[in-house]
Amino acid sequence: MDLIKIGKFISLKRKEKGITQSELAEKLYISDRAVSKWENGICLPDAGNMPLLCEILGITINDLFSGEEVDMKDTEKKLEENLLEMTKQKEQKDRQLLMIEVVLGVIITVMFTALLIVSCIFEMSNIARCILILVDTITFVIAAFFMLKIEQVAGYYECKHCHYKYVPTYLSVNLAPHMGRTRYMKCPKCNKKSWQKKVISKK
Ligand SMILES: [Zn+2]
C-alpha cells in the first residue's frame, strides 16, 4: 500500500471539495495533525474514520486504498490487490507483535527475578521489602496481561480436528492450559477440545 500516493489522493480530493485540513478534521471529530499525517503519507486513517472520510471526499474505500479513482472495470482486481496487501500487512504486524511478546517476556522475567533476589538478600526494612515485592508483582501482572492480549489477537489459533482458524476470547486464552504458544481450547466451530497451534495466516 502506497501511503504517499494515498496521502496525495486525500489531499487532492479534499481540495477539489474546497475544504481545508481543519474543516475536514472537524467533520471527522479528529485533530488537524491527524489529517496532515495522512496527507503526508505518514499513516493511514483509522478504519473507524474511513467510511465518513470517503463519504465526505466522494470516493469509495477501494479508491482510498488504491490512492486513485478506480475504474469500474478494474474494481474487482483492485479490490483483490488491496485485500491481499492488507492481509500481508496484518501478518507482518502479527509477527512483530509476537516478537515483542517474546522480548517483553524475557525482560520482565529477568526483572522480576532480579528484584525478588534484591528484596531477599539486601538489608532493608520490612516495609521497604513489602513495597518492593508488591511493585515487582504488580509490574509482572501488568506485563503478563499485555502478553496474553498479544497472544489473543495476533494471528489465529487452529483447531486440530476441523482446522478452523479463529481469534479466541481473552478469557479463554487466559484460562487455557498452554505449552509455549500452543493452547488447549475448545473450538467454537466443532466444539471439540484440542491443543491448538498459533498460526499467522488464515489460509
Ligand atoms: Zn474444530
> Residue 186 pairs with which residues in a beta bridge?
193
3-70 has which CATH code?
1.10.260.40
Residue 58 near residue 15 (C-beta atoms within 8 A): no
Residue 38 near residue 56 (C-beta atoms within 8 A): no
User: Which residue's C-alpha cell is 470516493?
Assistant: 59
74-117: pLDDT as tens digits: 888 888 888 888 888 889 999 999 999 999 999 999 999 998 89
Q: How far is the CA of 100 from the centre of ligand 1 (A)?
A: 29
Region of poorest pLDDT, from 4-8, 119-123, 144-148, 186-190: 119-123
Distance of CA 37 to the CA centre of its chain: 19
Q: How far is the CA of 12 from the centre of ligand 1 (A)?
A: 48
Q: How far is the CA of 193 from the centre of ligand 1 (A)?
A: 8
Instruction: Delimit the domains of the chain by residue range.
Output: 3-70, 93-141, 156-199
- Average pLDDT of 150-166? 94
State the sign of the Cα–Cα–Cα–Cα dihedral 34, 37, 43, 47: positive
Residue 6 near residue 67 (C-beta atoms within 8 A): yes
Query: Whole-angstrom Cα distance, residue 154 to residue 143?
Result: 16
Residue 15, pLDDT > 80, answer yes
- Average pLDDT of 68-75? 83
Query: Whole-angstrom Cα distance, residue 24 to residue 32?
Result: 8
Whole-number pLDDT of residue 24: 95
